[in-house]
Structure 1
């Protein structure tokens, strides 16, 4: 077997492997590192011993991702303010045709997966999103098949009890609501904003104390609308600031630029025609990946 064949097999499955790592880690940057480490290990494997390349690489990437979770546990504990996953800029405009894939990388789902243990999260992702059998998952997380079945059951019940009904809005509706929001926020139209927000709309900002951002979530339509009008009023006074709309995590996202610098990303979650959550990434370390689109797959 040649190095070219190792590379060919790995490259073919890279979007799927990246998606597995990202859904376990919630970080595109760390997922890139996991894939790099995984490839170095893969390059040493005798391909004659590999019966199923997809299962083998999925197991390898899952183990490396879980190692990364454990290595970064202390850093997560010391994080200042709310922690949110890294936004994932997608190279396809609309991946909602695959509803399972679209939901699995949504910011709401990734935040929910944070409430699972690392092993439960890996088991849930591999089983519910990618459909791997229990024997492959057991090998990936180094547990018995019986233990994995129990973890899968607990994780599934946990997620189902807390997940919001996921019905991706059609592109036209999403575009219309996003444009209405931009107009209302930019003009300080408080009533217009309130009409777009769900009663319990929430603004959650992730900065790790490295930039100015709310340290606690802001909850309630009136509080969020007031905060938004003040934020946009201040932004209009900032020279060289511009906003572009992108697709991150299959969610309309405002990318805020200060000159050539990306200053923030605001993901807008829309359910039943109302804005329910703003997920705002202000930590500069988490904004590096919004400049390069990614491919995801299952």
Structure 2
């Protein structure tokens, strides 16, 4: 596998991991980019298992980012005058941009992909299910699942959006969001299978 193929293949997985660990899409993208740069500088040909190496590197980079953030926060808090924190109520801003970005992606998936492609793309591309698991879920041959995923990726890269779906993508977004929050795919899988 070439370096460019590895980058294209593993980027969604690495971004998902980094996003889950940092909670910010922009920071996750920066961490994935830094991970790829270090991988390329260190010489990809020296690494036996590229996927495992990249996943471990992304996790480590996320941990370093979190540690650095905690150190900076502690240093900043130490510089504040005594009693100042008692007079201030902190409220973290809701990261509407990240949620909106994900909603837009789900809307594009809803409009661009056929029902079976949609199911395979979401479960493989976002939730990183293996082809064997998708084969059992959709009761299709593994090669067919691979073709569906490949076709879906190509369609997602096309512009402009050619709508193949009817209805509101809100239901799909709701199921994806619930799967992330609850850590369970059962409702999402049922929904995707029901739309085949």
> TM-score category by the smaller chain?
0.3 to 0.5
Normalized against structure 1, the TM-score is what? Answer: 0.31
Instruction: Give the structure with the higher percent strand.
Output: 1
Q: Which has the higher helix share?
A: 2
Q: Which has the higher contact order (CA 8 A, sep 6+)?
A: 1
